[in-house]
C-alpha cells in the first residue's frame, strides 16, 4: 500500500467550520506576531478547538524579547486545546523570530507537540519540523526533498503543498509563469481541449498550446490527483506531515480524500479536466 504523509489544512476563522468538515486536521490561521512581541488573535468560532495554531508575522517590526511571547503561545494552545504550532513566516528570517522558533521548539517538544517552521528558519530551530515547498518550475520534487533530508534529516521534514497553476511562455528564461485563477485554467482546458500529461519530476499536470500572438505555451497545474501524488512521494521518503491551504484547494478536497484512501493514484488523467479541475 502506498503511504502518504498526513495532511493538515491551514484555514482562517471564516473557513474554520468548512475546513473541519473536510475531515482533515486544521491549523487555525487566526494568529499574528505583533509588536512587543505579543500574540494577536482574530475572532475564532467557539468550535475552533483542537488542531493546531497557525500564525504569520505581517507588519511585525522584529523587536522585543522572545520568552514572554513563547509563554503567550503556550497559554493560548492550552486554552484552545491546540496540539502544535505552525509558524508561517515569509521572507528573510528575522533574528527575533529565529529565537522564538528555537525556544518554542524546545517548549513544545517537552509537551510532545510539533512546531512547523519555514525552511529559512530550519537551522535556527533544531526541534522544529521544516516546511519544504512543493512548488517547482524545474528539477525534481524527489530530489528537492532528498536534498532537504540531507540538510535537516528526513524525520524533520514536512511538505508545504502549494497548489500551482501557471502559464509559461516557451522558452522561459526566468522559470516563472503567469499565475492562473481557477476560472482561467478551466477556460483554457475547455477552449483548447488539450492532451493533459503528468510530470513525475514536478508531480503536476501539464499541457502545451500555441498562441498566434506569442507562440508556444506550457501550462503547469495541480489537481486532486497530482496533490495526492505529492503526498505519496513525500511519504515514501519518510516525510510524515504536509500542510495545504484550505482556501487554495477547497474544491479538490472531496476527490483528494478519496484518492488518499486508495492504494495508489493514477499518473495521468483519463481525459482533460478530470480529478477536480
Give me the pLDDT at residue 4, please.
Answer: 78
Give me the pLDDT at residue 277, please.
Answer: 31
| CATH assignment, 6-162+223-261 | 3.20.20.80
Give me the pLDDT at residue 106, please.
Answer: 97
Distance separating alpha carbons of residues 96 and 4, to the nearest angstrom: 35
259: phi then psi, degrees, rounded to nearest 5: -65, -40
Give me the pLDDT at residue 138, please.
Answer: 77
Beta-carbon count within 10 A of 59 CB: 10
pLDDT tens figures, 19-78: 999 999 999 999 999 999 999 999 887 767 899 999 999 999 999 999 999 999 999 999
- For 192, left (φ over 0), alpha (ψ -120 to 50), or beta? alpha
Average pLDDT for residues 93-119, to the nearest whole number?
A: 97
Residue written as grid cell 516563472 = 176
Record the cell numbers describing residue 228, joined without a space.
Answer: 495526492
Give me the pLDDT at residue 215, please.
Answer: 87
Domain residue limits, the chain: 6-162+223-261
Q: For residue 144, what are the contacts with CB-CB under 8 A and spacing of at least 6?
A: 132, 136
Q: At what angle do helices 95-111 and 66-80 cross, to 10 degrees?
A: 40
Q: How do strand 178-179 and strand 165-169 relate by DSSP bridges?
A: antiparallel
pLDDT surpassing 90 at residue 125: yes
pLDDT surpassing 60 at residue 274: no
Distance separating alpha carbons of residues 19 and 9, to the nearest angstrom: 7
Q: What is the mean pLDDT of the chain?
A: 91
Helix boundaries (H) for the chain: 16-21, 66-80, 95-111, 141-152, 182-192, 224-236, 246-249, 253-261
Record the cell numbers describing residue 267, joined without a space.
Answer: 499518473
Give me the pLDDT at residue 176, please.
Answer: 80
Average pLDDT for residues 82-97, to the nearest whole number?
A: 96
Give me the pLDDT at residue 272, please.
Answer: 38
Give me the pLDDT at residue 199, please.
Answer: 95
pLDDT surpassing 50 at residue 271: no
pLDDT tens figures, 212-270: 888 899 999 999 999 999 999 999 999 999 999 999 999 999 999 999 988 555 554 44
Give me the pLDDT at residue 131, please.
Answer: 98
Give me the pLDDT at residue 9, please.
Answer: 98
Give me the pLDDT at residue 267, please.
Answer: 53
Distance separating alpha carbons of residues 121 and 135, to the nearest angstrom: 18
- Selected residue with higher pLDDT from 141 and 138: 141
Please report which confidence band the pLDDT of residue 1 belongs to, taking 50, 70 and 90 as the band edges. very low
- Selected residue with higher pLDDT from 142 and 137: 142
Average pLDDT for residues 79-101, to the nearest whole number?
A: 96
Amino acid at each position: 500500500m502506498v503511504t502518504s504523509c498526513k495532511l493538515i489544512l491551514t484555514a482562517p476563522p471564516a473557513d474554520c467550520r468548512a475546513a473541519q468538515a473536510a475531515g482533515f486536521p486544521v491549523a487555525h490561521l487566526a494568529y499574528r506576531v505583533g509588536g512587543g512581541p505579543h500574540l494577536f488573535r482574530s475572532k475564532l468560532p467557539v468550535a475552533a478547538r483542537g488542531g493546531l495554531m497557525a500564525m504569520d508575522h505581517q507588519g511585525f517590526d522584529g523587536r522585543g524579547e522572545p520568552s514572554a511571547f513563547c509563554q503567550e503561545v503556550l497559554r493560548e494552545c492550552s486554552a484552545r486545546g491546540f496540539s502544535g504550532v505552525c509558524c508561517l513566516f515569509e521572507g528573510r528570517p528575522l533574528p527575533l523570530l529565529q529565537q522564538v522558533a528555537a525556544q518554542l521548539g524546545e517548549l513544545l517538544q517537552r509537551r510532545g507537540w510539533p512546531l512547523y517552521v519555514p525552511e529559512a528558519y530550519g537551522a535556527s530551530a533544531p526541534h522544529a519540523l521544516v516546511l519544504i515547498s512543493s512548488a517547482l518550475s524545474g528539477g525534481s520534487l524527489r530530489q528537492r526533498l532528498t536534498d532537504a533530508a540531507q540538510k535537516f534529516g528526513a524525520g524533520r521534514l514536512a511538505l508545504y503543498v502549494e497548489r500551482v497553476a501557471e502559464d509559461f511562455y516557451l522558452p522561459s528564461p526566468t522559470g516563472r509563469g503567469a499565475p492562473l485563477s481557477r476560472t482561467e485554467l478551466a477556460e483554457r482546458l475547455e477552449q483548447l481541449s488539450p492532451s493533459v500529461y503528468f510530470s513525475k519530476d514536478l508531480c503536476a499536470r501539464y499541457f502545451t498550446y500555441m498562441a498566434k500572438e506569442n507562440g508556444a505555451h506550457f501550462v503547469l497545474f495541480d489537481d486532486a490527483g497530482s496533490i495526492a501524488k505529492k503526498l505519496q512521494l513525500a511519504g515514501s521518503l519518510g516525510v510524515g506531515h504536509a500542510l495545504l491551504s484550505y482556501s487554495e484547494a477547497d474544491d479538490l478536497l472531496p476527490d483528494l480524500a478519496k484518492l488518499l484512501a486508495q492504494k495508489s493514484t493514477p499518473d495521468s488523467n483519463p481525459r482533460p479536466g478530470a480529478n477536480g479541475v
